[in-house]
Amino acid sequence: MNLLRTLADVVGSPNVLTGDDAQPYLTDWRQRYRGRAQAVVRPGSTAEVAAVVRACVAARAPMVPQGGNTGLVGGGTPDDSGDAVVVSLQRMSRVRAIDTANDTVTVEAGCVLQAVQQAAREHGRLFPLSLAAEGSATIGGNLATNAGGTQVLRYGNARDLALGLEVVLASGEVWNGLRGLRKDNTGYDLKHLFIGAEGTLGIITAATLKLYPLPAAQMTALAAVPSLAAAARLLERARAAAGAALTAFEVMGSAPLRNTVETLPGLRMPLPLGQPWYALLELSDAESEAHATATFERILAAALESGDIADAAVARSLAEAEALWRLREGIPEAHAKRGGNVKHDISLPVSCIAEFVDSTNAALRSRFEWIEPIVFGHLGDGNLHYNMGTVPGTPIDVAFAHESGINAVVNDAVHARGGSISAEHGLGQLKRDAITRYKPAIELELMRAIKRTLDPLGLMNPGKVI
């Protein structure tokens, strides 16, 4: 109880949550992981975060940093021991500064991604990180997991958008690395230690991020394609024709699309669901809508002639474009409503993806006759959400009962092709042990050495990543 009194002195009693008040912070978004904690503490400034860390270190209390609690691998959920303190950054939500001449924005870790996008837009700029949970995911969580999303093809992951960080270290000291520099060769680039570390090395409290000019026009199209190989050829054609203007290229199997349209009200397919695959393309044109339209027409006309697409629908308004994106972004929600599925967040060279899906689907079906692949994702950057459901009439619990066997087939197939078993969701609790099967021993030891150096007491988000 001495620790809770100290924490209350630091952040105020209303911001130290226990009992029922703490429960929403102790279960992950997928309802898969449920933990216990001494308390949930909600600091309102970097100085308060540092004081919270020092208090927890003195009490030898583990700390679990948490942003919007939208993660998919249990990285922000405490274990069941009840020893941890969950450090929620949600009160730290200020946009500290926008520098339009330098094209940067500095925000606190609890700032919701959508709020950063809006702040940039109000200043005539684009912050391009975009993902389905952007209305609740926070910048700190995005950086801690190196989030990807739909525009990685053009702008890169969260790591590529960060110029500087402010971090509270495991000692309670504050490292202020909020530099808006695109060139700084003065030694190790320390920010990259904390991006993607899922709070295991320190707590990100603020970041300086890159901004871009708003495009003159954005256009979106949905294309029906006969195979993943054809989708890959369409991607190659679109890249050649549009270059950097091609900001997104998503693929979706017909099964997840059909489930989404049937499950979520208000959604409709502008094309018949008669093809096995669908591609969603977005162009962000720096010149004009007319130029974007002409580029799209050249891409789609050539693909139709070659047989790489069977049909296409081009959005003619912002509302139509948003409706197309809701089809893609609604897939996880629709499948959650249907009971979920066995999830895999994988990355592969684009050149391997069609063969991987065909051969791995066949391998899984030969072992589990009831399995139904639910495949969609970011083909443009080689990231697939290669999820496994069940055919109609088979409860999803059957898939969950065979999860370890399914995971072994998928992960081994990914590894054999030089891929990664975690493209954008992180390792968290879900893949912490699995990664030891695929990473070289020297790489794991380097990670452990960094962890020992920066967190010698092992109090920063223990049980996650490594």
What pLDDT is attached to residue 416? 96
Picking from 259, 424, 414, 400, the residue whose alpha carbon sits closest to that of residue 342 is: 400
The pLDDT of residue 336: 85
- What is the residue-level pLDDT of the chain in tens, covering all 466 positions? 599 999 999 999 999 999 999 999 998 877 788 999 999 999 999 999 999 999 999 999 999 999 998 888 888 999 999 999 999 999 999 999 999 999 999 999 999 999 999 999 999 999 999 988 888 999 999 999 999 888 998 999 999 999 999 999 999 999 999 999 999 999 999 999 999 999 999 999 999 999 999 999 999 999 999 999 999 999 999 999 999 999 999 999 999 999 999 999 999 999 999 999 999 999 998 888 889 899 999 999 999 999 999 999 999 998 999 999 999 999 988 988 888 899 999 999 999 999 999 999 999 999 999 999 999 999 999 999 999 999 999 999 999 999 999 999 999 999 999 999 999 888 989 899 999 999 999 999 999 999 999 999 999 999 999 8
Q: Is 457 left (phi over 0), alpha (psi -120 to 50) or beta?
A: alpha
Q: Residue 410: what are its φ and ψ, rounded to 5°?
A: -65, -50
Q: Hey, what domains does the chain have and what are their CATH numbers?
A: 2-88 (3.30.43.10), 95-213 (3.30.465.10), 217-319 (3.30.70.2190), 345-425 (3.30.70.2740)
Res 179: pLDDT: 93
Q: Using CA atoms in the order 154, 159, 164, 168, what is the torsion angle rounded to 10 degrees? A: 160
CB atoms within 10 A of CB 401: 10
Half-sphere exposure of 1 (CA within 13 A, CB side): 0
Provide the residue type at 243 as one letter.
G
Of 283, 292, 147, the closest CA to residue 207 belongs to 147
* Torsion angle, alpha carbons of 316, 320, 321, 323, to 10: -170
- SS3 for the chain, per residue? CHHHHHHHHHHCHHHEECHHHHHHHCECCCCCCECCCCEEECCCCHHHHHHHHHHHHHHCCCEEEECCCCCCCCCCCCCCCCCCEEEECCCCCCEEEEECCCCEEEEECCCEHHHHHHHHHHCCEECCCCCCCCCCCEHHHHHHCCCCCCCHHHHCCHHHHEEEEEEEECCCCEEEECCCCCCCCCCCCCHHHHCCCCCCCEEEEEEEEECEECCCEEEEEEEEECCHHHHHHHHHHHHHHHHHHEEEEEEEEHHHHHHHHHHCCCCCCCCCCCCCEEEEEEEEECCCHHHHHHHHHHHHHHHHHHCCCCEEEECCCHHHHHHHHHHHHHHHHHHHHCCCCECCEEECCHHHHHHHHHHHHHHHHHHCCCEEEEEEEEHHHCEEEEEEEECCCCCHHHHHHCHHHHHHHHHHHHHHCCCECECCCCCCCCCCCCHHHHCCHHHHHHHHHHHHHHCCCCCECCCCCC
> Tell me, what amino acid is at 146?
N
Q: What is the pLDDT of residue 149?
A: 86
Give the separation between CA 5 and CA 186, rounded to whole angstroms.
42
Between CA 148 and CA 310 the distance in angstroms is 29
Q: What are the two backbone dihedrals, phi and then psi, of residue 250, each rounded to the nearest 5 degrees? A: -110, 150
Tell me the per-residue pLDDT of 384-413, one tens digit each, with 9 for 90 and over.
999 999 999 999 999 999 999 999 999 999
**Could you tell me if 423 and 409 are in contact, meaning their C-beta atoms sit under 8 angstroms apart?**
no
In sequence order, which residues have a C-beta less than 8 Å from that of residue 89 and are 6 or more positions away?
A: 43, 49, 65, 66, 67, 108, 109, 110, 138, 140, 203, 205
Residue 379: alpha-carbon gap to chain centroid: 15
pLDDT recorded at residue 1: 59
Q: Which residues contact 421 (CB under 8 A, 6 or more apart)?
A: 344, 345, 346, 410, 411, 414, 415, 431, 434, 435, 438
Identify the bridge partners of residue 16 per DSSP, sorted by sequence position.
41
- What pTM, to 2 d.p., does this model score? 0.92
